[in-house]
Amino acid sequence: MLRVRDLAVGYPTSGPVLHAVTLTLTLPGPGLHAIIGPNGAGKTTLLHTLAGQLRPASGSIHLDGQDVTGWHPTTAARAGVALAPQGRRLWKSLTVGEHFATVRTTVRDDDRWSVEALLEMFPALAARLGHRADQLSGGEQQMLTIARALHTAPRLLLADEPTEGLAPALAAHIMTVLTDLPARGVTVVVALPHAAGAARAATVHLLTAGRLRESADTADTVTDTLRRHLTLTDAEPTEPAP
């Protein structure tokens, strides 16, 4: 179980971003957990805090009963928490194969996610093993980002807007891969900018302006309320009308 309680997180330059976020996620999960919210809602901030990359100002995070609030990213990685960051954050001059080799030094001794298994999951990468990251298409880069994270054999994968900028067919493929992961023992938390991609999620959590507004238990209860709330939030002007 992942329990987040009253989490407040901010940045020195932009002040408080997350406000009293309280969230409980079952781990291993019954399916995908989706955090949905418009740009700037704080989704990345939340995932980065869970991955130990940001220290909360207050509140707590417990993983299977253990207080992991403010843990170091390396500790999080060793505990089986992997982040597939937004914007892919690959090493441009390293090849696909070298990306796998690079994370191997930090992972637990567990070969559940061998490179072969990952290439089966993302066949497009198989022909690209010797290519540098900056020679890959956007879709291939996204696949590599997820494959690199899975190579660490995580039990919790945090995927930040994994379909951003991708053609619909490719985005659907990525979502299918992520949706299938819980059955293979990986709990997935995916941040998405809209409710549409979360249609197959088991639990959906709506974050707007740094606050958790709604949670739904199953895909069936991804209700109109959630969608309406998001639509209304999206429609809000960013500046007062003159």
Nearest CA to 6 among 15, 48, 16? 16
Q: State which of residues 19, 22, 26, 40 lies at the interface with ligand ATP (CB under 6 A).
A: 40
Smallest distance from ligand ATP to CB 171, Å: 15
Which residue type does 211 have?
A: R
Q: Is 17 in the site for ligand ATP (CB under 6 A)?
A: yes
Residues that bind ligand ATP (rule: CB under 6 A) add up to a total of 15
- For ligand ATP, which is the closer residue by CB, 31 or 37? 37
Question: Binding segment for ligand ATP among 24-32, 38-46, 90-98, 139-147 (CB under 6 A)?
Answer: 38-46
Which 55-94 residues touch ligand ATP, going by CB under 6 A? 86
Cα–Cα distances in angstroms (integers) from residue 35 to residues 42, 178, 194, 213, in the given order? 10, 14, 9, 11
Q: CA torsion sign, 206 to 208 to 210 to 213? A: negative
- For ligand ATP, which is the closer residue by CB, 37 or 182? 37
Q: How far apart are CA 59 and CA 19, in angstroms?
A: 10
Question: Binding segment for ligand ATP among 6-14, 76-84, 95-103, 150-158 (CB under 6 A)?
Answer: 6-14
Q: How far apart are CA 234 and CA 228, in angstroms?
A: 10
Q: Is 97 in the site for ligand ATP (CB under 6 A)?
A: no
- For ligand ATP, which is the closer residue by CB, 24 or 86? 86
Q: State which of residues 70, 73, 97, 193 lies at the interface with ligand ATP (CB under 6 A).
A: 193
Q: Is 154 in the site for ligand ATP (CB under 6 A)?
A: no
Residue 231: alpha-carbon gap to chain centroid = 22
Q: Is 190 in the site for ligand ATP (CB under 6 A)?
A: no
Smallest distance from ligand ATP to CB 215, Å: 17
- Residue 93 has a CB neighbour count (10 Å cut-off) of 9
Report whether 201 contacts 34 (CB < 8 A): yes
Beta-ladder partners of 4? 23, 61
Q: How far apart are CA 122 and CA 125, in angstroms?
A: 6
Where do we find the tokens 């290439």?
119
The structure tokens listed for 117 are 């298994």
- For ligand ATP, which is the closer residue by CB, 69 or 208? 208
Q: Is 165 in the site for ligand ATP (CB under 6 A)?
A: no
Residues that bind ligand ATP (CB under 6 A): 11, 13-14, 17, 37, 39-45, 86, 161, 193
